[in-house]
Structure 1
Amino acid sequence: MTVVKSPLPEPARQVTYDALQSTLVDLLGISLIGKQAHWNIVGPRFRSVHLQLDEVVTAARSFADTVAERAAALGLPPDGRPETIASAFTLPAPKDGWLRDEDVVEVIAETLGAAIGRLRERIEATEQADPVSQDLLISVTAELEKQRWMFEAENWPRES
């Protein structure tokens, strides 16, 4: 049953759906692992990293809503159910238990970096299929790149 008719023709519709749905999964997953790290971080930089994680979670949740609403506006039903996120999320995540601040910084930077790489592929894929969705993905990427930069700067200089 189609409730909202898509203005996009096939295969542009499928390309756009795949890009938006996989981005939704990544963003919801990032918000969950961000909170997991937020609750379990320990170490001398606890407060600053704890607060920085809130920024990542807020950005991921806000963009997840925007991405899901874009999909719905195109007649593409977004799927943010827990079982969908659990089965489809493949980005790096922190281990369970207490997390040292430098480990949190490293894994969040790695997670954001992986998400950014995937977003850049989706940006290319949607260039012809749906430039409006592509623009949204560009905005998401810009914010995640800013957040990744801030986390990477936390661990400078790194031991090689």
Structure 2
Amino acid sequence: MYVVKSPLPDADLKTVADALQGALVDLVDLALVAKQVHWNVVGPRFRSVHLQLDEVVASARTHSDTVAERASALGVSPDGRAATVAASSGISSVPAGWVKDSDAVGALADALGTVITRMRQRIASTAEPDPVSQDIFIAVTADLEKHHWMFQAENA
């Protein structure tokens, strides 16, 4: 089997691999949570919230692919399996069933806040060992912060 060998020293690669894997899990779960809420949102702001949730799903899916491909480029096998995501995501679960639009907005603002906090930790931890991966985390965080702002503004 072909294995990609990173030019990073082993200790740096471990730090970066952990950051990339954590980001992948959080982004996959963010997409799942947003889609779950998207299917179940109800209320007077249904349409706008429904569409806004799909924007988060699209962003999270795009970023998860970028993060996973960066891991692969460094010779780290990305793990986006459901069991891995369930075991290691930092996002709180959302309840089953219908979700009032204001609760949906709050749930997504909370989920985004959690992921952003964890992404900022990854930005810090990868600054020295791999500025390329750090750059990816910076771009992901900037995009998620835009979504976070918009969801917070919905409930202001």
TM over 0.5: yes
Please report the TM-score for the alignment, with normalisation by the length of structure 2: 0.97
Q: Distance in 2 between matches of 1:12 and 1:100?
A: 45
1:80 corresponds to which residue?
80
Q: Distance in 1 between matches of 2:44 and 2:137?
A: 35
The correspondence of residues 61-140 of structure 1 with structure 2, limited to 5 A, is 61-140=61-140
Q: Between Structure 1 and Structure 2, how many residues are aligned?
A: 156
Q: What per-residue deviation string (whole Å, max 9, x for no partner) do you get for residues 95-151 of structure 1?
A: 111000000000100110011011101100000010000000000000000000000
Structure 1 runs (4+) deviating above 2 angstroms are none
The correspondence of residues 39-58 of structure 1 with structure 2, limited to 5 A, is 39-58=39-58
Question: 2:119·2:141 contact (CA, 8 Å) conserved in 1?
Answer: yes
Tell me which amino acid in the other structure corresponds to 1:49. V
Q: Distance in 2 between matches of 1:114 and 1:102?
A: 18
Q: Distance in 2 between matches of 1:62 and 1:115?
A: 15
Question: 1:2·1:75 contact (CA, 8 Å) conserved in 2?
Answer: no
Task: Find the residue that maps to 1:129 and give its secondary structure.
Answer: coil
Q: Distance in 1 between matches of 2:90 and 2:136?
A: 22
Tell me which amino acid in the other structure corresponds to 1:33. V
Q: Distance in 2 between matches of 1:3 and 1:135?
A: 24
% same residue: 57
Q: CA deviation at 1:89?
A: 1.6
1:34 corresponds to which residue?
34
Gaps of 5+ in 2: none
Gaps of 5+ in 1: none
Whether 2:7 is the aligned partner of 1:7: answer yes
Q: CA deviation at 1:93?
A: 3.0
Q: Distance in 1 between matches of 2:55 and 2:147?
A: 8
Tell me which amino acid in the other structure corresponds to 2:48. S
Q: CA deviation at 1:78?
A: 0.5
Q: Distance in 1 between matches of 2:21 and 2:137?
A: 12
Q: Distance in 2 between matches of 1:106 and 1:100?
A: 10
Question: 2:24·2:80 contact (CA, 8 Å) conserved in 1?
Answer: yes
Q: CA deviation at 1:90?
A: 2.7
Tell me which amino acid in the other structure corresponds to 2:32. L
Q: Distance in 1 between matches of 2:94 and 2:82?
A: 18
Tell me which amino acid in the other structure corresponds to 1:94. V
Q: CA deviation at 1:2?
A: 6.4
Q: What per-residue deviation string (whole Å, max 9, x for no partner) do you get for residues 26-53 of structure 1?
A: 0000000000000000000000000000
Please report the TM-score for the alignment, with normalisation by the length of structure 1: 0.95
Task: Find the residue that maps to 1:5 and give its secondary structure.
Answer: coil
